[in-house]
Amino acid sequence: MANNPIGITSRLAFFVCGTTSLLMGNFHRALLFLSPSSGLRWYQMPVSWYLLPAALTAIGGFAVAVALLPGSWVERVCKIGTDNQRLSSVPIKMLGGFAVFSYLLTVGLYFASFTRHPSPWLVFSVCPACALMYTTGTSLGTVSWLVAPVDAAVYGSLGVAFGFLLVVLRRF
């Protein structure tokens, strides 16, 4: 993650994924007022409705923080091997893996037929960007060009967080 093209690109990807996760957390927080229990006061709503926006905000904030850390700090943490000359690419690989899995999961959910109707909290936990489908259509184009990439970015920020923590914990 030095100042080479790969390092700059990975920092940009971390920043974009983290910012997307932060924005989705704010969007879900705004949806609390449109929930089935919107007639209730904020302290009367179920706790589960507050967990998803808080998790999205925390993970997105962590990914943005990793993207904005000084290069020397990141290099010191991510150096691996006995000679400490190679940088670990675990956060980048985790970002890519989580993003691809999430994209395929979201497109797969479009084709899945539900015999039982799952709760909105479960659907939004698996597919945070499905909340965007309130304002857009439910066509395959919308899912594959809008909802799935946003989900991929949100899960990519989760991959960045797991990857960076894995690298940090491996050093100790």
Phi, psi of 126, deg, nearest 5: -80, -40
What pLDDT is attached to residue 37? 55
What pLDDT is attached to residue 124? 80
Residues 67-78 have a mean pLDDT of 79
pLDDT over 80 (residue 65): yes
pLDDT over 80 (residue 3): no
Residues 10-34 have a mean pLDDT of 88
Total domain count for the chain? Answer: 1
What pLDDT is attached to residue 149? 93
What pLDDT is attached to residue 139? 82
pLDDT confidence of 16, banded at 50, 70, 90?
Answer: very high
Tokens of 152: 């991929």
What pLDDT is attached to residue 96? 93
Which of 23-37, 46-60, 126-140, 148-162 is most confident? Answer: 148-162
Instruction: Round the average pLDDT of the chain to a whole number and report it.
Output: 81
Burial string for 15-41 (b: 16+ CB within 10 Å, else e) reads: bbbbbbbbbbbebbbebeeeeeeeeee
pLDDT confidence of 104, banded at 50, 70, 90?
Answer: very high
> How many CB atoms sit inside 10 A of residue 108's CB?
10
**% of the chain surpassing 70 pLDDT:** 76
Domain limits for position 82: 5-171
